[in-house]
Amino acid sequence: MTESLDFDKLRAPCNIERFMAFERELEGAVQRETDERRRKDEEHKRAREKRARKKRLKAQAQASA
């Protein structure tokens, strides 16, 4: 015969508010990391585009001279 679990006894020591705060903290950290990586990627892309534009303008100036 299997024993049944008493969910009230299992929940009693668990502090839901603390767990939810911990979960929000983790989700916030993941979101901040995602935002930071996205920002760095965008900065890198802008810098690459700026270098490419400078290179095109330089080549264009040399070709017309």
Secondary structure of residue 65 in the 3-state scheme: coil
Please report whether residue 4 resides in a domain: no
pLDDT tens readout for residues 10-47: 777 778 888 899 999 999 999 999 999 999 999 999 99
Q: How many independent structural domains does the chain possess? A: 1
Please report whether residue 2 resides in a domain: no
pLDDT tens readout for residues 41-64: 999 999 999 999 999 999 999 988
Under the banding of pLDDT at 50, 70 and 90, the label for residue 1 is low
Q: Which helix (H) or strand (E) holds 54?
A: helix 16-64
pLDDT of residue 14: 78
Please report whether residue 18 resides in a domain: yes
Please report whether residue 20 resides in a domain: yes
pLDDT (mean) for 5-11? 75
Instruction: Give the Cα separation of 18 and 41 in Å (integer).
Output: 35
**Could you list the residue range(s) of the whole structural domain that residue 20 is in?**
13-64
* 25 Cα distance to chain centroid: 14
